[in-house]
Amino acid sequence: MKAIIQKKVFNYLLKNEVKNFIGVPDSTMKHFIDEGLKKNKILITTREEEAIGIAAGMSMSKSNSLVFMQNAGFANSISTITSLVQLYEIPMIFLIGWRGFLKNDAPEHAKIGKIQPKILQALSLQSKVLNEKNWKTSSDWALKLIKSGKPCALILIRDFID
């Protein structure tokens, strides 16, 4: 996704009451993260489960949160998502970088890229794939879900190889 669109997504979510942006950096969303860092609104963690725990606490204090991570970290976080976020119905948005979407991505991304949609489905975690045309309606969809007390995921396709 183009840099300008990632920055628009960040600013739109911030403007619409997402106050906390916590996670483990992923180059797939580097422009999203950079925009947040410029506004001093990003909290970097070393593990995805740590980011989810912090976001859960903030969400329980009625402060909307977004947790960003790559899909391998999302897979590592399944237990935290099921035993904390879903069990206690804690609303938050997950922004997940979809590594392995491209067929010629690095070999370590191939398997997780292939099974990512199945993981989301198995968790019954509602999700939408962001693109340059639907980013605003998808963001509105996610905002509506967290306002109704439900977690959800926005997926950012990794459309480059570095």
In a domain? residue 122: yes
Calpha distance 102→44 (Å, rounded)? 27
Calpha distance 138→11 (Å, rounded)? 14
Domain interval for residue 66: 3-157
Residue 140, pLDDT > 90, answer yes
CA dist 61 → 15, 37, 53, 83, 90 (Å) = 19, 23, 13, 19, 11
Taking each continuous run of H as one helix and of E as one strand, the counts in the chain are 7, 6
The residue with greater pLDDT, 115 or 156, is: 156
Q: Indicate which CATH number applies to the domain containing 26.
A: 3.40.50.970
What's the pLDDT at 149?
96
The number of distinct structural domains making up the chain is 1
In a domain? residue 162: no
- pLDDT of 53-78, one tens digit each? 999 999 999 999 999 999 889 999 99
The residue with greater pLDDT, 111 or 133, is: 133
- pLDDT of 19-37, one tens digit each? 999 999 998 999 999 999 9
Give the tokens for residue 5.
């669109």
In a domain? residue 126: yes
